[in-house]
Chains A and B, each alone.
Chain A
Amino acid sequence: MAVHAEHLAHAHSESWIRKYVFSTDHKVIATQYIFTAYFMALLGGLLAALIRYQLGWGDQASPLLERLFPFGAQGGVIKPEFYLAIITIHGTILVFHFQTMMLTGGFGNYLIPLQIGARDMAFPVLNMLSYWVFLASCVVMLLSFLVEGGAAAAGWTVYPPLSVHAAAVAGSGLGQTIWLLSMALLIVATLMGGLNYIVTTLNLRTKGMSLMRLPLSTWGVFFASVIGLVTFPVLLAGAILLLLDRHLGTSFYMPTVYIGGQLVETRGGNPLLWQHLFWYLGHPEVYILAIPALGFIGDIIATFSRKPIFGYRLIIISFVVMTILSCIVWGHHMFTSGLNPYIAMVFSLLTILISVPFGTIILCYAATLWKGKIQFTTPMLFAIGFLSLVVTGGLGGLFLGTASTDLYLHDTAFVVGHFHVIMASSVLFAIFAATYYWFPKIFGRFMSESLGKWHFWLTFIGVYATFVPMHVMGLGGMMRRIYSPHAYQYLQQWVPWERVISIFGLILIGAQLLFVVNFFWSLFKGRRATDPNPWRANTLEWQTSSPPPHLNWGEEQPVVYRGPYEFSRPDTAEDYLPQNTPPVGVEVSGNGVR
């Protein structure tokens, strides 16, 4: 890049609003994403608390609930339609508005330009628009609780016909329309972001930053963006068709049915079409989350083991295989839907085969730990917790990916436990690890280690104690998405379990207060990160000041000479060797860093 940095810095003397609100600086946008996504996480967590309250003590009236939700909890008891709205919005905002946006829009946005040595994203204005569209999506989604009938209540998968006809369930009135609009906005935001991340990673790498020298975090966000670009538009199309079915009398998804005491005559449609379109994104979505999470964890494990990542190329190959496989396994959500049984067998086999690349990456990370000089910092604890959770969750996936055992386990608490371990918790652990790890870079201050460790222990115990028992209940035949476990005789033995799970679940949610306190306290009062590279890492983001200046680098962009994980080389005095440190004997004319 030939542009002179001073000149650029001068050009940036802009108003406060252009600098911090409508900024095109990827670091500011990333921070906006991080705050917004964490805010959505808090709301999603509060909804989870209501779910756990209902399943644990739903038969007891609580005056407090009535005061909080005069409509949803008349008489102090959560109404079934309110419960369904809660689970729907809980799932939607935590999967999409929190995890997806945090990993790609938040950390991906922040890290890609810094890790590849670029000054900003390829399309800074698009990047800014992406955030504002996302924010609109969040606002729209939350407004749906205020409309008549309440928020969407057909589950986060919003299967038709339940989600089409207002008489089918209370939330299928205006709330469902708002849900679809919010999702459409979110998809547009994702696409603008994803396009940016791909183009930036491919085209703006600094001198010497070959693809095989990219840190795993950047690779992770790159592959997630590829998957997102391939699959999110399909859901957008599906959502538009659903809107047409709801409001313009088409019948893509609706056969002639009899709902709420009246005949709904259509020209014939197929409810399974939505399931295909939804899961064509819905399943890859798991990998849109898992692959960046794996990437972040890779960076963190290498740094705190002081070792090169074991099998870097093997991991990249596994990412490629996962990216491809993730797009052709969606049918495993539909084994009992009336799907053609032959196709189901193919989906089942492909699904199970994902364990191969997934297992490869986990074993590579495990091997990275071997004989490392491990530093048990808070980010490293969350990273090891992540490894534990992905194995536990991944193995649970074998039960569900196998078609004939899914005949029994589909739509049971086993599924809920499984994806809360593999998706909700492990990805949450990656997000926490990333937050503790990159916080000093982003905000120039450290988060408190002792609060961080308490947060880790309570969260780790809480996650296992909440979600592992759900697997057992699922094996016992407990259905998911039920408002109360009291209706069935054979489920009575699990009622006390629900209560114990609720206690641990509420502890888990409560423990997140430690994080909130730590986050805000550290933001203003945390120990200053005077050293730009406090963890003694090799990747480029650590080779500029904390927080990095506008346009990231001083006068000139860094030049890269080696891979991202050259730790503990026998031929260096220090146990790390940053990517931009010139090899001995190479003349450098000020690469502008440090």
Chain B
Amino acid sequence: MAVSQQQASSRDRRTGFVLGVALWLFTLATLWLFGANLHKMPPPASDFAPQIDAILWVILGISVIGFVGLHLYLGWVALSRPAEVRAIYLPADRPKEWLWVLVPIGLLLVADLTFDHMSNKVWGAFFGKPPANAFEVEVTGQQFAWHVRYPGADGRFGRTNPRLISDENPIGLDLSDPAARDDILLINVMHVPEGRPVMIYLRSRDVLHSFFLPPMRIKMDCVPGYTTRMWFTPQRKGNYEIACAELCGMGHYNMKGLLVVEDEQAVQNWLAQQTPFSKRGQ
């Protein structure tokens, strides 16, 4: 090689020093970036939200340990390179020394199983049977709006049929079904009661959409041909944005709705003011 061993080795020391410092600075910067900005998350507003956040914090804690641990080590390796000595010789496979790797990995496995268990509990509640007194709403996604349907006084959603869809009948409501007569159909706005479980049935009339409620920490895809569902109990009154999280076409970025969480009585009053779909234009 063109450069002498000694030159090469002093250059290596310099590079190692810069790398070590850089790795530690990156670590601090990353920790700061997270620590200083986590409060910008939408404030939790449902019963699931704090539970999901709790799992996030557990995983975040584990990640900080792994992230900081590895970077401290890498930085130390870079900074402390012995100058002229020969590397120590460790033959490739001495299973006893594998413990240096296997013990931390064992701890990682325990951590994995811990938060997986936490996750399963929330997952089970979210997909399990919702409480019997749930307040029911149906949402049908279209490019690029949310059709929100309430079952009306009979508590039953009327039949729909995609072949009936038109500009006037956006979800193809079949008015020959008696249950459809009092259904209330709105666009991009949903009112739900605080403190009572809300069950949302999700559908789509064209492509995939995903009904996303950031403060509730949940989303679920709207799949044409399927009825998916989500439920949660709103815990805080307020106006929240409904977002579409699944790419659905050129207007995807703007497919926005409004979720209003208010008193049960306020919701009932508001519903009473709405005209059922079948009586529109009469």
Q: How far is the CA of A349 from the CA of B89 in the complex (A)?
A: 38
B49-87 residues at the A interface, CB under 8 angstroms = 51-52, 55-56, 59-60, 62-63, 66-67, 70-71, 73-74, 77-78, 81-82, 85-87
Determine if B143 is an interface residue (Cβ-Cβ < 8 Å). Answer: yes
Determine if A575 is an interface residue (Cβ-Cβ < 8 Å). Answer: yes
Contact of A404 among B2, B62, B105, B119 (CB under 8 A): B119
Q: Would you call B74 and A384 a contact (CB within 8 A)?
A: yes
Among all A-B residue pairs, the 9 with the closest Cβ atoms: A255-B225, A477-B214, A341-B127, A482-B253, A376-B15, A395-B63, A80-B250, A411-B245, A404-B122
Determine if B126 is an interface residue (Cβ-Cβ < 8 Å). Answer: yes
Q: How far is the CA of A259 from the CA of B248 in the complex (A)?
A: 11
With both beta carbons as reference points, the residue of chain A lying nearest to B73 in the complex is identified as A366
- Please, could you name 29 A-B residue pairs with CB atoms under 8 Å apart, sorted by A? A155-B247, A159-B246, A161-B208, A269-B225, A271-B224, A271-B225, A310-B97, A313-B93, A337-B221, A348-B123, A352-B115, A355-B112, A356-B112, A373-B81, A374-B12, A374-B81, A375-B8, A391-B66, A398-B63, A403-B120, A405-B56, A405-B59, A411-B219, A464-B30, A477-B212, A484-B253, A563-B92, A567-B87, A568-B89
Q: Which residues of A contact B167 (CB under 8 A)?
A: 261
Q: Would you call A307 and B87 a contact (CB within 8 A)?
A: yes
Residues of chain A having any CB pair with chain B under 8 Å: 79-81, 84, 153-155, 159, 161-162, 168-170, 255-259, 261, 263, 265, 268-272, 305-314, 336-338, 341, 344-345, 348-349, 352-353, 355-356, 359-360, 362-364, 366-367, 369-376, 381, 384, 387-388, 391-392, 395-396, 398-399, 402-405, 407-408, 410-412, 453, 457, 460, 464, 468-469, 471-472, 475-477, 479, 481-484, 487-490, 493-494, 527, 531, 534, 563, 565, 567-570, 575
Q: Would you call A565 and B250 a contact (CB within 8 A)?
A: no
Q: How far is the CA of A398 from the CA of B101 in the complex (A)?
A: 20
Q: Which residues of B contact A272 (CB under 8 A)?
A: 223, 226
Q: Would you call B226 and A338 a contact (CB within 8 A)?
A: yes
For the complex formed, measure the closest distance between the CB of A72 and the CB atoms of chain B, giving whole angstroms.
Answer: 12
Q: Would you call A268 and B207 a contact (CB within 8 A)?
A: no
Number of chain B residues whose Cβ lies closer than 8 Å to a Cβ of chain A: 106
Contact of B101 among A155, A314, A375, A408 (CB under 8 A): A314
Q: Would you call A534 and B1 a contact (CB within 8 A)?
A: yes
Determine if B191 is an interface residue (Cβ-Cβ < 8 Å). Answer: no
B152-194 residues at the A interface, CB under 8 angstroms = 162-163, 165, 167, 172
Determine if B132 is an interface residue (Cβ-Cβ < 8 Å). Answer: no
Q: Would you call A263 and B59 a contact (CB within 8 A)?
A: no
Supposing A399-B59, A402-B119 touch, asked if A258 and B205 sit within 8 A by C-beta, the answer is: yes
Q: Which residues of B contact A154 (CB under 8 A)?
A: 247
Q: Would you call B162 and A257 a contact (CB within 8 A)?
A: yes
Supposing A359-B108, A403-B123 touch, asked if A565 and B92 sit within 8 A by C-beta, the answer is: yes
Determine if B270 is an interface residue (Cβ-Cβ < 8 Å). Answer: no
Determine if B233 is an interface residue (Cβ-Cβ < 8 Å). Answer: no
Pick the most buried of B73, B74, B119: most chain A CB atoms within 10 A of its CB.
B119
With both beta carbons as reference points, the residue of chain B lying nearest to A340 in the complex is identified as B127
Q: How far is the CA of A569 from the CA of B88 in the complex (A)?
A: 8
Q: How far is the CA of A306 from the CA of B82 in the complex (A)?
A: 13
Q: Which residues of B contact A256 (CB under 8 A)?
A: 162-163, 225
B187-231 residues at the A interface, CB under 8 angstroms = 204-208, 210, 212, 214, 217-221, 223-226, 228
How many cross-chain pairs have Cβ atoms below 8 Å apart between A and B? 318
Q: Would you call B217 and A170 a contact (CB within 8 A)?
A: no
Q: How far is the CA of A337 from the CA of B212 in the complex (A)?
A: 12
Determine if B37 is an interface residue (Cβ-Cβ < 8 Å). Answer: yes
Q: Which residues of B contact A376 (CB under 8 A)?
A: 11-12, 15-16, 19, 78
Residues of chain B having any CB pair with chain A under 8 Å: 1-2, 8, 11-12, 15-16, 19, 22-23, 26, 29-30, 33-34, 37-38, 40-42, 48, 51-52, 55-56, 59-60, 62-63, 66-67, 70-71, 73-74, 77-78, 81-82, 85-93, 97-98, 100-102, 104-105, 108-109, 112, 115-116, 118-120, 122-123, 126-127, 142-143, 162-163, 165, 167, 172, 204-208, 210, 212, 214, 217-221, 223-226, 228, 241, 243-254, 256
Q: Which residues of A contact B210 (CB under 8 A)?
A: 336, 410-411
Q: Would you call A258 and B206 a contact (CB within 8 A)?
A: yes
With both beta carbons as reference points, the residue of chain A lying nearest to B251 in the complex is identified as A80
Q: Would you call A348 and B220 a contact (CB within 8 A)?
A: no
Q: How far is the CA of A84 from the CA of B252 in the complex (A)?
A: 10
Contact of B207 among A162, A352, A567 (CB under 8 A): A162
For the complex formed, measure the closest distance between the CB of B44 and the CB atoms of chain A, giving whole angstroms.
Answer: 10
For the complex formed, measure the closest distance between the CB of B21 and the CB atoms of chain A, giving whole angstroms.
Answer: 12
Contact of A81 among B26, B30, B92, B250 (CB under 8 A): B250
Q: Would you call A402 and B59 a contact (CB within 8 A)?
A: yes
Known A257-B162, A384-B23; 12 more pairs at CB < 8 Å: A263-B163, A271-B223, A359-B104, A376-B19, A399-B63, A402-B116, A405-B52, A408-B214, A472-B37, A475-B38, A477-B42, A488-B241
Q: Would you call A402 and B71 a contact (CB within 8 A)?
A: no
Q: Which residues of B contact A155 (CB under 8 A)?
A: 247
Q: How far is the CA of A493 from the CA of B214 in the complex (A)?
A: 14
With both beta carbons as reference points, the residue of chain A lying nearest to B161 in the complex is identified as A256
Supposing A484-B253, A487-B253 touch, asked if A356 and B70 sit within 8 A by C-beta, the answer is: no
With both beta carbons as reference points, the residue of chain B lying nearest to A79 in the complex is identified as B250
Q: How far is the CA of A489 from the CA of B258 in the complex (A)?
A: 11
Q: Which residues of B contact A271 (CB under 8 A)?
A: 208, 223-225
Q: How far is the CA of A399 from the CA of B115 in the complex (A)?
A: 10
For the complex formed, measure the closest distance between the CB of A408 and the CB atoms of chain B, giving whole angstroms.
Answer: 4
Q: Would you call A170 and B52 a contact (CB within 8 A)?
A: no
Contact of A568 among B22, B56, B88, B163 (CB under 8 A): B88
Q: Which residues of A contact B254 (CB under 8 A)?
A: 484, 487
Supposing A468-B30, A493-B40 touch, asked if A337 and B223 sit within 8 A by C-beta, the answer is: yes
Q: How far is the CA of A388 from the CA of B221 in the complex (A)?
A: 34
Q: How far is the CA of A392 from the CA of B85 in the complex (A)?
A: 32
Q: Which residues of A contact B104 (CB under 8 A)?
A: 359, 363
With both beta carbons as reference points, the residue of chain B lying nearest to A87 in the complex is identified as B247
Supposing A169-B250, A411-B246, A568-B87 touch, asked if A257 and B207 sit within 8 A by C-beta, the answer is: yes
Q: How far is the CA of A138 from the CA of B264 in the complex (A)?
A: 59
Q: Which residues of B contact A483 (CB under 8 A)?
A: 250, 252-253
Q: Would you call A490 and B86 a contact (CB within 8 A)?
A: no
With both beta carbons as reference points, the residue of chain B lying nearest to A387 in the complex is identified as B74
Contact of B42 among A269, A309, A372, A476 (CB under 8 A): A476
Q: Which residues of A contact B250 (CB under 8 A)?
A: 79-81, 84, 153, 169-170, 483
